[in-house]
Amino acid sequence: MKSWWLRRSVRLRLALWYAAATALVLIAFAWFVYEVIEHRLGAEIDRQLRIDFDLVEAQLTVDTEGRVQWNVRGSHGDEGFARMSAWFEVWSESKELLLRHWPVPESNINDAPSAPHGSTLKFATVELERGLFVRMMERPGRVQGRSVIIRVFRDETEMRRTLREIVEVSLLGFPLAGALAAIGGYLVATRSLAPLDAMARQARRITSESLSKRLPNLNPNDELGRLATVFNETLTRLEASFAELQRFTADASHELRSPLTALRAVGEVALRDGNDPAMLRETIGSMLEEAERLTDLVDALLTLARMDATKEGAAREEVNIGALLEEIRDQFEVLASEKGQTLAVTTDHNVVVPADRTLLRLAVVNLVHNAIQHGPSNSKISLAAARRPDGIDISVSDSGHGIAGEYHEKIFEPFFRVDKARSRSAGGVGLGLAIAKRAAERNGGRIIVESEANRGSVFRIEFPLSRQPADNPAIT
């Protein structure tokens, strides 16, 4: 049953739920109405029985022989009693029938009620004949000083007919009401889910080649509209991701093809003119340089891929930033001296950051390498770490050509170069800043650039105070 239910459409399930809920409400309402009407009609009969009892008791007498008599009698009773639409019995306290006044001759009575069992007030419903129910009130009374038990009766035929008509109308009306509720629920569900059908049809037409399409959104304020908004925002992000992936793939292919082409070219030259040992040594040296550059490019791509693929948080440890910067300065001192550059480290006392040391070092190393590459000869490169009111900064400053404001975000994209004409040997592979940005973000920080054209650059890694350990007095 569950499997069948789950295979049905949402609109059908909504229609069936609506019909079932309507049926339950109608059943509960009909039961309530039935109980109220039955109670009211029964209470009215009981009230009439009390009135009948008073009238009967007042008109009973005892003759000279001690027999209980009705004052005025016709062939089947008096006219006054006929207007009461009831009948009665009089019993002695010893359970002897003294008088029976029924609207039919006693010879026609097939199943008369049994004698009273007690002398207290009692209401009961009895079936005199098949399908003939009467309401009976039994109560002690007095006839000219004599104690008796008087029973008065009223026919329940009309009341039961009324209740039966209510049941019949309900039984006939409930299926119709349920069917109308199901049809109405189906139509309402169809109309309500029409935007969802439109979104589904449009979603089927969206492929990787048509990510610019969006789902229709007629009403952004309702639940389906908000769902369409979320899907459209997701499509926007997917479109941007696909575009970035396509651009990255094209750039990576181009970057990989360049050293491979160079390797093939110098190899062909060496094969063609391979008699000169000096030329062969120069050719092999060029091939090794291109191979090294190709290795660096592949390593950088693998680093980016690993950081993108790893979803878990980085393993944190307390990293002394001053010691880290001095270690990086020692690593690049020889490379900087070849261009006459100097590396200077300035830090506040005991600056400590909880971070993955390997990733943090990778970020700073790429920033320093970038500053050495693009900084002018005989210039100074500063490495600094400082506390600020809301966190800690690690900065790398140079006095190079600077970067125009419109490129501050783009320089962190893979393979982007501000100067397209710059040679690859001088400009690197264009992945250093992208790696630095990913490494900083994996440590909970962010990297920003402060630079203007021809005025040098400052790359700053910022760690907010909220991610610092509260029990470290050096950074609070």
Q: How many domains does the chain have?
A: 3
Distance, in Å, from the CA atom of 92 to the CA atom of 149, rounded to the nearest integer, reads 6
Q: Are residues 332 and 461 in the same domain?
A: yes
Q: Which of 147, 163, 179 is the last residue of a domain?
A: 163
pLDDT for 30-86, tens place per residue?
Answer: 899 999 999 999 999 999 999 989 888 888 888 878 788 877 554 444 444 444 455
Residue 475 pLDDT exceeds 70: no
Model pLDDT, residue 473? 37
Model pLDDT, residue 459? 92
Residue 270 pLDDT exceeds 50: yes
Model pLDDT, residue 82? 43
Q: Are residues 273 and 323 in the same domain?
A: no
Q: What is the mean pLDDT of residues 429-449?
A: 84
Q: Are residues 293 and 322 in the same domain?
A: no
Per-residue three-class SS string for 200-212: HHHHHHCCCCCCC
Residue 471 pLDDT exceeds 70: no
Of the two residues 241 and 20, the one the predictor is more confident about is 20
Model pLDDT, residue 274? 63
In a domain, 77, yes or no: yes
Q: Which of the residue ranges 104-118, 156-170, 375-389, 445-459 would you say has the lowest mean pLDDT?
A: 104-118
For strand 391-398 and strand 380-388, is the pairing parallel, antiparallel, or unpaired? antiparallel
* Residue 44 neighbours by CB distance under 10 Å: 12
Mean model confidence pLDDT for the chain: 80
Residue 308: band (very low, low, confident or very high) from pLDDT cuts 50, 70, 90: low
Residue 104 pLDDT exceeds 90: no
Q: Rg of the Cα trace of the chain?
A: 51
Per-residue three-class SS string for the chain: CHHHHHHCCHHHHHHHHHHHHHHHHHHHHHHHHHHHHHHHHHHHHHHHHHHHHHHHHHCEEECCCCCEEECCCCCCCCHHHHHHCEEEEEEECCCCEEEEECCCCHHHCCCCCCCCCCCCCEEEEEEEECCEEEEEEEEEEEECCEEEEEEEEEECHHHHHHHHHHHHHHHHHHHHHHHHHHHHHHHHHHHHHHHHHHHHHHHHHCCCCCCCCCCCCCCCCCHHHHHHHHHHHHHHHHHHHHHHHHHHHHHHHHHHHHHHHHHHHHHHHHHHCCCCHHHHHHHHHHHHHHHHHHHHHHHHHHHHHHHHHCCCCCCCEEEEHHHHHHHHHHHHHHHHHCCCCEEEEEECCCCEEEECHHHHHHHHHHHHHHHHHHCCCCCEEEEEEEEECCEEEEEEEECCCCCCHHHCCHHHCCCCCCCCCCCHHHHCCCCHHHHHHHHHHHCCCEEEEEECCCCCEEEEEEEEHHHCCCCCCCCC
Residue 467: band (very low, low, confident or very high) from pLDDT cuts 50, 70, 90: very low
Q: What is the mean pLDDT of residues 19-40?
A: 89
Q: Are residues 401 and 426 in the same domain?
A: yes
Model pLDDT, residue 2? 66
Of the two residues 430 and 434, the one the predictor is more confident about is 434
In a domain, 397, yes or no: yes
Residue 99 pLDDT exceeds 60: yes
Q: What is the mean pLDDT of residues 9-13?
A: 78
Q: Which of 163, 190, 212 is the last residue of a domain?
A: 163
Q: Are residues 454 and 323 in the same domain?
A: yes
Of the two residues 290 and 98, the one the predictor is more confident about is 98
In a domain, 154, yes or no: yes
Q: Are residues 29 and 112 in the same domain?
A: yes
Q: Are residues 290 and 322 in the same domain?
A: no
Model pLDDT, residue 311? 55
* Contact call for residues 367 and 408 (beta carbons, < 8 A): no
Closest CA to 41 of 146, 159, 181: 159
Model pLDDT, residue 243? 78
Which single residue is written with the structure tokens 């199943």? 111
Any residues with CB less than 8 A from the CB of 254 and at least 6 apart, and which? 415
Q: Are residues 148 and 235 in the same domain?
A: no
Q: Which of 163, 183, 210 is the last residue of a domain?
A: 163
Q: Are residues 450 and 320 in the same domain?
A: yes
Range ranked top by mean pLDDT from 143-152, 297-306, 401-410: 143-152
In a domain, 126, yes or no: yes
User: For residue 348, what are its two tokens?
Assistant: 């506040």
* Contact call for residues 317 and 358 (beta carbons, < 8 A): no
Distance, in Å, from the CA atom of 70 to the CA atom of 68, rounded to the nearest integer, reads 7
> What CATH number does residue 60 fall under?
3.30.450
pLDDT for 346-391, tens place per residue?
Answer: 988 888 888 888 888 888 988 998 888 888 888 899 999 998 888 8
In a domain, 402, yes or no: yes
Residue 252 pLDDT exceeds 80: no
Residue 458: band (very low, low, confident or very high) from pLDDT cuts 50, 70, 90: very high
pLDDT for 219-239, tens place per residue?
Answer: 888 788 888 888 888 888 888
Q: Are residues 371 and 425 in the same domain?
A: yes
Residue 453 pLDDT exceeds 70: yes
> What CATH number does residue 403 fall under?
3.30.565.10
In a domain, 212, yes or no: no
Range ranked top by mean pLDDT from 148-162, 404-418, 430-444, 454-468: 148-162
Distance, in Å, from the CA atom of 29 to the CA atom of 35, rounded to the nearest integer, reads 10
Model pLDDT, residue 476? 29
Structural domain boundaries enclosing 385: 314-467
> What CATH number does residue 274 fall under?
1.10.287.130
Q: How far is CA 358 from CA 303, 324, 439, 444, 462, in A?
A: 12, 10, 9, 14, 17
Q: Are residues 454 and 391 in the same domain?
A: yes
In a domain, 217, yes or no: no
Q: Are residues 370 and 267 in the same domain?
A: no
Model pLDDT, residue 378? 87
In a domain, 75, yes or no: yes
